[in-house]
Structure formats: structure tokens, C-alpha cells
Amino acid sequence: MARPSIVPIALTLDDRTGFTLWAPPWEEDGEEWQAFLGTSEDDRARVHLFPTPAALAAFCRTRTDHDLADHPVWPVVVGLGPADLTPDDDHRYDLDGVYDIAAENPDRWAVEELAATIDIVTRLAECLDVEDDDEDDELTDANEGADVDDDIELERRPDSAASRGGEFGALAELVARPEIGSLGLGVEAFLGRSGEDAWVGVGGALDDLWEDVIEELGAHLDWTGGGTVSVDDYPSAAESDDDGYDEEDDAAEDDAAAARRPAGGATAAASAAAGVSTIARAGRIAAPPAEVARAAEFWEAVGILPVEVVVPEGAGLTLRCYVEDRARFLGRDGEVFLFDSPDELTRFCRGDEAHDLTEIASWPEVADTTTPPLPSDQDRYDLTELSDVLGEVADGAAGLVDHRVLAQQVEGVRDIAEYAGLTRVDELLRPDAPLGRAVATGERVPDTPLRAEDAAVLRPAWDEVVTEVSGALVFRD
């Protein structure tokens, strides 16, 4: 169970985008809870939505008459500004856009986006369905001890009201459809002829039920922010996409940031121009971009991707996929297997040693393929390079590197920590820790320059992260 946290999210519905807060599941007094920023009135639970992160921040600073006021980290949220309460791309849910997604080909991104959208709607329903049904003894047992009349922080259990119906009968019917359930299996559930049929079934289920689902949910959405804003304050969804930032200004700043980057970036660009895609530094795996692109077609199709990880002990290749939004690596018992070259990784995959990817539906294709496991740029994580960069900034290169340098490496670290159960890494990356705050800044305003004094604090924290991650890596012969 993750530590208690509160995450800003955005919901787009009826051509409006509203901002609110979500407390993902956490454990308290032996029970599992999750909640959204909202209240109950007139026997109906509602989630408060706001037209901008600034309006959300103002509400958080001044109001305590809501269901997150007793959350363990609420005192931290009170001090956050609009930038801190701007959702990242992974926490923006376009409820208007599900038909467009279902009309696309079922690639990794379409499947994940649709699964995430249905998941957040289900979570909302689990917290919002407080209908009192005296005939439902199971519901009474599930909510025993919870104050369902005044609080939407309902305990989540497998037999929750949202999963059986209650006020959200259409949603219950939707998530009961086997095709919708397949979304949680990832893109591999939609491969081949049967997968194509399943994807068509997803579209059919949405055609049948999504409008009813939206109607059920809409009755519980408060677009007045608890009476602090007006519906007229909301721009159209298209106008609110940039959250008030000017795209031309952002582009100009991106160009300026690129000009400020140290020589390492120029070296990478020169390598690409020469026709070689170099992984991190000299002496590590290299392959022509065209070959990497050809290999990516196969690996994307099977939903299992090659990954490179670089730590002080060495560099190695492994494989990673996602099962129900959780990272799973080529490994066993929380250990990630690394191999020195694509050939060695391929030989292992053709063997019969047990590991945690064997049960993935597309694994037989991986075991038989002659396609080399060449990682794409976004799947390469050089953890040592970030240590060096932070050291350089702390020693006087401040202003030459911005916060976006953290993003990709932290993504890889979080996946390994999740798979290996590295709780110390979670602690170092939590929102109130220095490294976690820097990562959050990089997600909100990636071109913010790193200051020398910040890098001096981040370097030892990152080195501890790297040490923890290194302990979960096993270099195979």
C-alpha cells in the first residue's frame, strides 16, 4: 500500500475542464481508503471542480469544510500554489474523448489512456455512491464503521457499491463487460484476430453505455467549486488545455533552454546526425536509428519493451511491460535481470529459465523472435549521468541545466522500485522530500533551471536512490 498522498487531477466533460484533488488509496487503522475533494449535502456526495489550478489553490488555502481536511498530508496541500496543483499529463482524464480513443488502433497509448479514464470514473463512483440500501446487507457490512452520510471517504472493497450498481448501474454494467475488463491487461489483450474483436467490443460497450455513465457521474460533479466560482468561469476545454500558459512563450523558452544545455546534449545531437543512436555515453550500446525503429515495431506490438539501465556497477539490457498499470521486468523475486548485449538477452529469452514475464500472453513471440532488443530513447535510463550532472550544477554550472533532466531517469527508477518493493526509494521521492519536490517542479515547469544550492541537496539523495536501485539489479552472464 502506497503512502498517503494527494494528487491534482483534471476532468474534461461537456467541453469543460475542471481541476480537483484525488487521494489515492491509503491504509489507516487497518482499513483502505481513498477520497476526492468534495462534500455531502442534501444526501448527495459531490466532487468540487474548479476552472483553474489557481481557483483550486485558493479554495485549499481558505476552506476546511470538505472531506480531505483530515487527510494526513492536507497540511502540505494548504501551502501549495497553482503550479503545484497543476496536474501532470498522466492525471488528466478526457471523458469527452473516449469515443475518439476507441476509434483509434489499439496501440499501447490508446489502451492505457482508455483504461486510465475508465479507472478514474470507477474510483469516483466508489467514493460517491452513498445510496442507503437497507436491503443490501453486503453493502451495510462493507461500509460498517464508515460515516456514509457525511463523508465521501468511503472504504474501498472488492464488493463496493460501484462494482455492483447502486447509483451507478450503467457504470457497473460497463465494467462488467469482458472487453472493458481486458483493458487492464494492456495492449497484448488486443493483439491478433481475437484482440481486434475485443477492441471492437470495447467500442460497442462504450456506444451502449458511456452516455449513461456520464449522466450518472454528472449528477455528482460540482462545477461551482463549493460555491466559490461560477460555471461561466470555465473556458472551453480547448482554451483551457494550456492552463493559462502561452504556448508561444513556452516554445520560445524551450528554445532558450535548449541553448543553455551543457555540451552533453550537443554530443548526443551530433551522434544522431552521424546516423548512430548512442545510448548514454561512449562504450555503451549503439545502433542505427533505422534499426532501432524497425525493432520498435515488433516490441510495441507485443507490449514488452527493451530497457537499458546504467548504474555505477555497469550497464545492461532488460525487458519491461505493464500489468494493470504496474511495471513488471524480466526477473524474479523482485530482482531485475540485466544483460551486457542484445545477443545475450536474446539467448536468455530463448531458454527455459523461469521468470516473471513467462505468463505474459505475448511471451512466446518474444522467445521466438529474431528481432534484436534495442531500446528506444525513452526507455534508456542512465542513472550515473544524472549524478554527474547534479554534481556539475552544484559545483558552478547552475543555470545551464533545467529540471527536465530528472524526468526520464526518475521514471525508470520508479518502475524498478515498484517492481522490487524499494520502500526507501518511495520515501526519497515522496512529495514533501527535496528530491520529490524537484521532480514535481520538473513535471509542472520543466524548463525551470536547477540552482546550485538545490543540486547540492539533490545529489546525495539521488545517489542513495541509485544505491537502492543497484541492489535490485542482477547482472547475468
pLDDT of 21 higher than 80: yes
Other residues' Cβ atoms within 10 Å of the Cβ of residue 136: 17
Q: What is the pLDDT of residue 240?
A: 62
Instruction: Copy the grid coordinates of residue 51.
Output: 476552472
pLDDT of 466 higher than 90: yes
pLDDT of 388 higher than 90: no
Give dist(CA 437, CA 443) in Å, integer.
10
Q: What is the pLDDT of residue 224?
A: 94
Render pLDDT for 390-409 as a digit per residue (tens, 0 to 9).
988 888 766 667 888 899 99
Q: What's the average model confidence in pLDDT over 439-463? A: 89
Sketch the domain layout of the chain as residue ranges: 7-233, 246-477
Q: Can you say whether residue 422 is alpha, beta or left, with left for phi > 0 and alpha for psi between -120 and 50 degrees?
A: beta
Strand partners, 236: 16
Which of helix, strand or coil describes residue 67? coil
State how beta strands 92-94 and 277-278 pair: unpaired
Q: State the pTM of this model.
A: 0.50
Q: Can you say whether residue 78 is alpha, beta or left, with left for phi > 0 and alpha for psi between -120 and 50 degrees?
A: alpha
Cβ density class 313-337: b for 16+ within 10 Å, e for less: eebbbbbbbbbeeebbbbbeeebbb
Look at 80-84, 145-149, 213-217, 314-318 and tell me which has the smallest mean pLDDT: 145-149
Render pLDDT for 246-287 as a digit per residue (tens, 0 to 9).
444 334 333 333 332 333 332 222 222 233 322 233 336 667
- Those residues whose C-beta lies under 8 Å from the C-beta of residue 188, and which sit 6 or more positions away, are 195, 302, 303, 304, 321, 360, 361, 362
Q: What is the pLDDT of residue 477?
A: 78
Q: What is the mean pLDDT of the chain?
A: 81
